[in-house]
Structure 1
């Protein structure tokens, strides 16, 4: 869109479209209308219609630009090289620093994490190759609702309901207990390109599997409990994990919309890498902080399940994605969760007189996941989801009956 057209549209938007009745309509991100890539293709031809659906309530407009990094140095960084060398004393120190960071921030930058820059770059290149394909080609990776892979593929719904449509294009696949990337990619790419993509994501996520396990072990050490406390329920498997690629096209409404609304992650751990374009923002003391991209670092954050598992010692913190008018942003996300039916029991050492029980003493990821699906299907917001994890654990017979359906 040329500057004159943009200015005219912004004036039209401010005069006619930003009305309380419009902004409070609680649209979900199920893309029943246009996805960002479709809107983007229209923008390139000078059209402005359809953009009003992406305008969010005024109180959620981004107050901090995507590239305002003046507070970024406050996001802690932990060097994992000492853990990898096997030095017991340094390993203990690293574990304590990591646990302290997750307790205070819920987010951390990690370096010397064991995933080479070459592997990360290769994954980024493959992701860009996918998103830059023609829309009709990418849509071959859409998974029909009748498929056993429902909830995965191209243009997938997140299941979260926000106050407006997020400006995001994405692809998601189940990584474990079985990788389900092959079927959709073989429909999108030619055979040789499909194999290259599949091989790349398998190598990349295999490294993240190992990193997630190391972080879980470090967290236990840092909390002063048995090293295998958070890995033992996995039973030697990778658990229930998801790989997602997010693409945020340039957006002419960057000051009025979001790439992804404020939320906490429901899972155990999230590991993210992003391109050189900023966009991730973390809520710290009621202030949004833009996380400056660093090529050699990965971002790790705590999910609701891990906050509950540690009886609140670690924090699952709100974060969001903002967009900009000039540059596309890419992020790759690995969501680690325990096996569906594995018992998640709060360690007794983390329940004391000073830290009494705050969460359900025992639950499964399957139960919590079922609750999430139920609430979001009913149109409830993302910020209230983890209330289910809080004490008391007792619930009505009807709620228990509903959970058993998932």
Structure 2
């Protein structure tokens, strides 16, 4: 078990001014520190979503989800110019004086009761993997009245109004939903299921959130991480990273860097899709490296199943060679288990859903078709 630090830090970004050493609260244990270079790029699949042959497209998407648990997409439905524009507004927020930003800071246990919050020191929370990063989160829960929710979020972040942020965010939200539904349809079809098998449990009542993460430059990047190795406990994540790079994914115990591509978005398979597909699709273990020279900005558009969803894999995905992998489990039960473990400081094991799921794996005598 690794304890998180207890030093009181309001803003990682402000802390870095003139810093030569990393506070003890943000030193990553030696066994978790990066072992490869930031630019050790891997052969992560890049998929053109505009391909006309759907059979080819679904095979590319399905193979990538099965073999890697992550892939990049180009020619998608999300406006990159709008995303970059909104990103500039978000940077303005992160570079505000600390006393202005902390007005949106909340106690961790109150997070689910709000729509917007800021975290200047993510080590205060045990709910996620972030370390050397600040975060701005828009939590929208269900998709009903999403445009109104985006407007309220914008007004909370920019009380004086910010049309570029509001309108741009609204466009990105809609584009990410279209992309997410399309990817989920392709994954379902790849498995021989109805196209809406996964997406119908996600929209319109599943929760969604936008998490902007800002990773300041770091004087000793080999002693910490932007985010410690983890999987995503949700269904699927659409991720944007800027040109600073830093995202790494793990395959066969080897870390590979995901090379930044201006026009690309990254799709991460989450724990719930891993369970729901009977482990045909793999929840990707990933981490974020920081660097000495540049700040890094990312956006994670995170999509959850409806809480009552029974994640038991369809019978058609169960065979003699691949028996039923997991005990019956609802989305709500899984999240409750994961977040309770994180609150109890079962760290860093609870950050990896593949490890946490060991208690839900069916034993040989329990496995039935």
Q: Same fold (TM over 0.5)?
A: yes
Residue 34 to residue 293, structure 1, CA distance change in 2 (3 Å): same
Aligned length: 352
Aligned residue number for residue 8 of structure 1: none
Deviation at 1:246, TM superposition (A): 0.4
Relative distance call for 1:26 and 1:181 in structure 2 (3 A) is farther
How far apart in 2 are the matches of 1:34 and 1:327?
21
Match of 2:367 in 1: none
Of 115-124 and 270-279, deviating more is 115-124
**Which residue matches 1:106?**
69
Is 1:51 the equivalent of 2:23?
A: yes
Q: Residues 374, 143 of structure 1: CA spacing in aligned structure 2 closer, same or farther, 3 A cutoff?
A: same
> How far apart are the structure 2 equivalents of 1:217 and 1:116?
21
Q: Distance in 2 between matches of 1:208 and 1:246?
A: 17
Match of 1:330 in 2: 297
- Residue 78 of structure 1: SS of its match in structure 2? strand
Gaps of 5+ in 2: 364-369
Note if contact 1:250-1:325 (Cα within 8 Å) is conserved in structure 2: yes
Query: Is 1:41 aligned to residue 14 of structure 2?
Result: yes
> In the alignment, which residue of structure 2 is the partner of 1:123?
86
TM-score by length of 1: 0.79
Do the aligned partners of 2:207 and 2:304 also contact (CA within 8 Å) in 1? yes
Hey, what's the Cα distance between the residues in 2 that align with 1:328 and 1:345?
Answer: 42
* Matches of 1:373 and 1:131, distance apart in 2: 27
- Give the number of the structure whose alpha-carbon radius of gyration is greater: 1
Match of 2:98? 135
- Aligned-pair CA distance for 1:216: 0.6
Q: 1:168 corresponds to which residue?
A: 133
Partner of 2:214: 247
Alignment of 1:77 onto 2:54: no
Question: Residues 249-273 of structure 1, C-alpha deviation per residue, up to 9 Å, x if partnerless?
Answer: 0111201111110001111001101
Q: Who is 1:345 aligned against?
A: 312
User: Gaps spanning 5+ residues in structure 1: where?
Assistant: 1-23, 393-406
Structure 1 residue matching 2:209: 3-state secondary structure = strand
265-274 or 146-155: bigger deviation:
146-155
Aligned position for 1:191:
160
> What are the equivalent positions in structure 2 for 1:4-403 lying under 5 Å apart?
25-27=2-4, 33-37=8-12, 40-44=13-17, 46=18, 51-69=23-41, 72=42, 74-82=43-51, 87=52, 90-143=53-106, 149=113, 153-155=117-119, 159-160=126-127, 166-177=131-142, 180=149, 185-193=154-162, 195-234=163-202, 236-237=203-204, 239-360=206-327, 362-381=328-347, 382-383=351-352, 384-391=355-362
Cα distance in 1 for partners of 2:167, 2:141 equals 15
RMSD of aligned alpha carbons:
2.6
Is the 1:143–1:152 contact (alpha carbons within 8 Å) kept by the matching residues of 2? Answer: no
Shift of 1:387: 3.1
TM-score where L is the length of structure 2: 0.87
CA shift for structure 1 position 204: 0.8
Does 250-259 or 51-60 show the bigger shift?
51-60
| Inter-CA distance 177–366: structure 2 relative to 1 (3 Å threshold) | same
